[in-house]
């Protein structure tokens, strides 16, 4: 346990920051800045537009090209309404497992990287390790692009990126892309006994929700190697609308997401949805000019494609000994790095099956395996 004690100390500090995506992450970022500053490591913030959140990156080692980026997001999903049996903001060990929001997804990876900074500083690194921590990953990978743009523009460009999402320390070579949409339907209120006197936004929105479900059923026939589910998936995550049972609803909105192995599939599905939405918009306006349908794309995160000979793939497989090819259905920031010209893979401690759950946990053995990975990385770069 002594080998991972520094990681657990740092993890406890990181878990204590409530960095649910609706909150600022600046307190955590300030703590990391101080941690690095005390070791003589300079860091750079990349702020959001209103200054309430920040990405942070820092290079440990020589200022040369070919560095390795260790990337993780600082935000976590809400705990609201979940039946936790211990405080989600207090790291708690029970039976070889560490409980707390973010233990699996994905503060353990950040803690491992930070816990090995002293070892990195003491080693004769020939290439740098670049720590990169982002905000707002959980709500659509909104924060990372501005930081990735700076990393990709560095005079001494990194050669590989390891995104530490939970993979049980196995190498993941691909992930689906995800895009999400807010659909706002506006109708006209009237008494429910007189449906022709108004337009029920809820009834009209149901038509579009049925379309999402229909496309989702059709997409199940698609097949892509390594992915499970193998094809595109469409889900509706939130619905709001209406005021009373006997009033035709003036407003209804819903949010849906689309996850695809290939961007072209996503483009086709989005185009099909928008075409139907435009026709429904015209139909509603013919009955209620103040009404209509508005479709807003909330997020669009590109997928990660398999590039078996990339420097990120070769490095991750060298460090783990893992030669299997894997793809995951969730989206991550790896696709953003790849699109910016920085080869990336996903490899981190813990299981995605524990992510977003009440009593989220990670096995201590996964921290131990992650620590061994970090030590091998330092040796490899020395």
Structure confidence at residue 224 (pLDDT):
87
Identify whether the C-beta of residue 183 lies closer than 8 Å to the C-beta of residue 256.
yes
Structure confidence at residue 2 (pLDDT):
56
The HSE-up count of residue 62 (CA atoms within 13 Å, CB side) is: 11
The HSE-up count of residue 41 (CA atoms within 13 Å, CB side) is: 26
Catalytic (active site) residue 214: no
| Closest to 85 in 3D by CA, of 358, 334, 338 | 358
Q: Give the CA dihedral 109, 117, 310, 305, nearest 10 degrees.
A: 30
Structure confidence at residue 51 (pLDDT):
97
The HSE-up count of residue 339 (CA atoms within 13 Å, CB side) is: 17
CA distance 71 to 348: 10
Which is catalytic among the residues 18, 136, 137, 189?
Answer: 137
CB atoms near residue 214 (< 10 Å)? 11
CA distance 358 to 99: 9
Which is catalytic among the residues 75, 165, 265, 313?
Answer: 75
76-80 contacts: CB < 8 A, separation 24 or more? 76/19, 76/20, 76/21, 76/101, 76/102, 76/105, 76/107, 76/138, 77/20, 77/21, 77/101, 77/105, 77/138, 77/355, 77/356, 78/20, 78/21, 78/22, 79/20, 79/358
CA distance 311 to 65: 13
CA distance 131 to 260: 29
* Sequential pLDDT tens for the chain (382 residues): 457 999 999 999 999 999 999 999 999 999 999 999 999 999 999 999 999 999 999 999 999 999 999 999 999 999 999 999 999 999 999 999 999 999 999 999 999 999 999 999 999 999 999 999 999 999 989 999 999 999 999 999 999 999 999 999 999 999 999 999 999 999 999 999 999 999 999 999 999 999 999 999 999 888 888 998 999 999 999 999 999 999 999 999 999 999 999 999 999 999 999 999 999 999 999 999 999 999 999 999 999 999 999 999 999 999 999 999 999 999 999 999 999 999 999 999 999 999 999 999 999 999 999 999 999 999 999 9
- Structural domains for the chain: 2-174+303-381 (3.40.630.10), 177-301 (3.30.70.360)
CA distance 371 to 382: 17
| Closest to 336 in 3D by CA, of 308, 299, 309 | 299
CB atoms near residue 6 (< 10 Å)? 18
Identify whether the C-beta of residue 24 lies closer than 8 Å to the C-beta of residue 116.
no
The number of angstroms, rounded, from the C-alpha of 217 to the middle of its chain's C-alpha atoms is 25
Catalytic (active site) residue 18: no
Residues 6+ apart with CB under 8 A from 339: 302
CA distance 359 to 223: 34
The owner of tokens 């953003």 is: 336
Token pair for residue 38?
């005390």
- Give 298-316 as a DSSP string: EEEE--B---TTSHHHHHH
């Amino acid at each position: 346990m002594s080998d991972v004690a520094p990681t657990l100390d740092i993890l406890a500090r990181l878990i204590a920051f409530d960095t649910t995506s609706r909150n600022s992450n600046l307190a955590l970022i300030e703590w990391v800045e101080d941690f690095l500053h005390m070791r003589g490591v300079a860091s750079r913030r990349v702020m959001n537009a209103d200054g309430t959140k920040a990405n942070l990156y820092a290079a440990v080692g020589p200022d040369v090209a070919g560095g390795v980026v260790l990337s993780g997001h600082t935000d976590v999903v809400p705990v609201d309404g979940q039946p936790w049996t211990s405080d989600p903001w207090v790291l708690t060990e029970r039976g070889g497992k560490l409980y707390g929001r973010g233990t699996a997804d994905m503060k353990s990876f950040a803690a491992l990287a930070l816990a090995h900074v002293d070892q990195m500083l003491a080693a004769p690194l020939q290439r740098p390790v670049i720590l990169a921590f982002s905000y707002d990953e959980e709500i659509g990978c909104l924060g990372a692009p501005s930081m990735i743009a700076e990393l990709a523009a560095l005079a001494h460009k990194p050669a590989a990126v390891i995104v530490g999402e939970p993979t049980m320390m196995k190498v993941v070579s691909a992930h689906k892309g995800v895009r999400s949409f807010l659909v706002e339907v506006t109708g006209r209120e009237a008494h429910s006994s007189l449906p022709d006197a108004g337009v029920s936004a809820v009834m009209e929105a149901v038509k579009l929700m049925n379309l999402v479900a229909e496309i989702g059923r059709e997409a199940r026939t698609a097949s892509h190697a390594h992915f499970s589910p193998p094809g595109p998936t469409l889900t509706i995550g939130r619905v709001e609308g209406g005021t009373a049972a006997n009033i035709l609803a003036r407003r209804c909105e819903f949010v849906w997401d689309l996850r695809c192995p290939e961007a072209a599939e996503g483009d086709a599905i989005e185009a099909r949805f928008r075409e139907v939405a435009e026709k429904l918009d015209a139909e509603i306006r013919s009955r209620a000019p103040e009404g209509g349908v508005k479709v807003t794309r909330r997020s669009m995160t590109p997928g990660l494609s398999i590039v078996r000979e990339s420097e990120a793939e070769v490095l991750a497989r060298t460090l783990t000994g893992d030669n299997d090819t894997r793809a995951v259905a969730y989206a991550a920031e790896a696709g953003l790095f790849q699109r910016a010209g920085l080869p990336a893979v996903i490899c981190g401690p813990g299981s995605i099956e524990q992510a977003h759950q009440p009593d989220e946990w990670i096995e201590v053995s996964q921290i131990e395996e992650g620590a061994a990975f970090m030590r091998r990385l330092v040796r490899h770069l020395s």
